[in-house]
């Protein structure tokens, strides 16, 4: 009995999608997600980036460090405060601590349910810091440096 390479290969055990299906999947994925590098590039280009960045972590985590210019709105408070803090005509990019936290996804869901256009920033604040990008704290500008591993959401 001959074993096919795909049967023992964890990568090819399930065949890749055909190119058209793959393109549709990745195009759809980009409608929901962006990354730290793209957000940083858009913010540093000057002028209005065309979106607002929303930090969905706790006040303690926000004070330790956040993306410059971000709006602070903890995930649990999105339903009651988003309409007062955000303009529904401006897309929102949410983030939380990092990949181990789903606070940004929960905030994005709540915003979408309220009628906002929204994307999630993959990697969150953890990857913002890992990329060596400057950030603000409760005491003013800081970074680049390691931030505390905290989410608080």
pLDDT tens, position by position, 29-78: 999 999 999 999 999 998 999 999 999 999 999 999 999 999 999 999 99
pLDDT score recorded for residue 147: 46
Query: pLDDT exceeding 70 applies to what percent of the chain?
Result: 89
The Cα 93–Cα 57 span in angstroms is 13
- Going from the C-alpha of 77 to that of each of 36, 67, 97, 106, 107, the distances in angstroms are 24, 19, 17, 11, 9
Domains and their CATH numbers in the chain: 34-142 (3.40.250.10)
């Amino acid at each position: 009995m001959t074993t096919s390479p795909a049967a023992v290969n964890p990568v090819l055990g399930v065949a890749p999608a055909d190119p058209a299906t793959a393109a549709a999947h990745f195009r759809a994925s980009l409608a929901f997600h962006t990354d730290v590098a793209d957000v940083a590039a858009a913010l540093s280009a000057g002028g209005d980036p065309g979106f607002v960045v929303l930090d969905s972590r706790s006040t303690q985590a926000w004070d330790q460090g956040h993306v410059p210019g971000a709006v602070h709105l903890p995930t649990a408070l999105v339903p009651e405060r988003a309409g007062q803090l955000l303009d529904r005509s401006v897309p929102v990019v949410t983030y939380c601590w990092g990949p181990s936290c789903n606070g940004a996804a929960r905030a994005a869901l709540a915003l979408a349910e309220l009628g906002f256009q929204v994307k999630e920033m993959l990697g969150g604040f953890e990857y913002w810091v890992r990329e060596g990008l400057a950030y603000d704290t409760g005491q003013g500008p800081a970074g680049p440096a390691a931030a505390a591993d905290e989410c608080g959401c």
